[in-house]
Structure 1
């Protein structure tokens, strides 16, 4: 019987991560986003789920800033989360989110933003109500936030430059 493990992504995982992203999303946009975020040095936490030496899941949190009243607050953006389709429904995505949250909190992060399915991300504490006061090109029900401490509730979200291609 094999065991799934979660560990930090390494440079040797790049090709496997690209494949998981492309299989999970059926396109290459998310894989390109990952490549750009890592290349630009904007990745804060990047983990892979591995089984029998094969990468089957991936999560990346990148630096995001909240600009409000002339101040800048550092936060993180969860994007993307991907699990190989043959492993959907096995809890790998949730395990990746929970482990990343542990690491982010331990590192002193206080605010995470995600654009995704409210029913899915709500299980981890994300809510649109917490993100409703932010100005973002993606403002809507899918924009959600999770705070682990004192963090702004309003302001303009400024994503890493790699996201610019997605907002266009």
Structure 2
């Protein structure tokens, strides 16, 4: 399995993977809208030896605070779930990202990658704080105070 940046030729397979992984088209439409809106910071895929995409991850520029990112979405093909592929992509993304990263999702899953719900406690978010977590490579002494403004396609 190889982790690499997504290319335009991957967009169709990525959309199909997202629709299969989430059992609905919403995330595929979100990713397409984020691309059109130039909100994507980075997109990665994890492909097998046959170049079949088995997992996908996007880092999206936050509108506010500047220099922050949203991790959304992370998806693994249904037949490859439970093999740690999503985790491999998350580690790869966090190894190179330069600013704080916000994720909305299961805290039990994301805390194992260094995300913290506690560090997100002072954020003002359109999403529930109990499922909002923050990753900071070098956290300050106190949790940040910030208002989160997501790219328009998130609808928040």
Q: CA RMSD in A?
A: 1.4
Per the TM alignment, residue 150 of structure 1 is displaced from its structure 2 partner at its CA by: 5.4
Of 74, 96, 106 in structure 2, the residue corresponding to residue 103 of structure 1 is 96
2: distance between equivalents of 1:110 and 1:61? Answer: 11
Gaps of 5+ in 2: none
**Equivalent residue runs for 1:62-81 within 5 Å:** 62-66=60-64, 72-81=65-74
Number of corresponding residues: 153
- Picking from 119, 122, 126, the partner of 1:133 is 122
More strand by share: 1
Q: Structure 2 CA distance, aligned partners of 1:49 and 1:103?
A: 16
- Pairing 1:117–2:117 present: no
1:7-26 mapped onto 2 (5 Å cutoff)? 7-26=4-23
Partner residue of 1:50 out of 29, 47, 51: 47
Residues 150 and 121 of structure 1: CA distance in aligned 2, closer, same or farther (over 3 Å): closer
In structure 1, distance between residues paired with 2:126 and 2:150: 10
Bigger shift: residues 150-159 or 51-60: 150-159
Quote the Cα distance in structure 1 between the aligned partners of 2:100 and 2:51. Answer: 33
Give 4+ residue runs of structure 1 displaced > 6 Å after superposition.
none
Query: Does residue 156 of structure 2 align to residue 159 of structure 1?
Result: no
Structure 2 CA distance for aligned equivalents of residues 27 and 49 of structure 1 = 21
TM-superposed CA distance for 1:162, in Å, is 1.0
TM-score by length of 1: 0.86
Q: Which moved more, 1:136-145 or 1:111-120?
A: 136-145
Give the deviation of 1:149 after TM superposition.
2.8
Q: Partner residue of 1:32?
A: 29
- SS of the counterpart of 2:74? strand
Counterpart CA distance in 2 for 1:7 and 1:65 is 26
Aligned equivalents of 1:65, 1:14: Cα separation in 2: 24
Check the 8 A contact 1:110/1:149 in 2, yes or no: no
- State yes or no: 1:146 paired with 2:135: yes
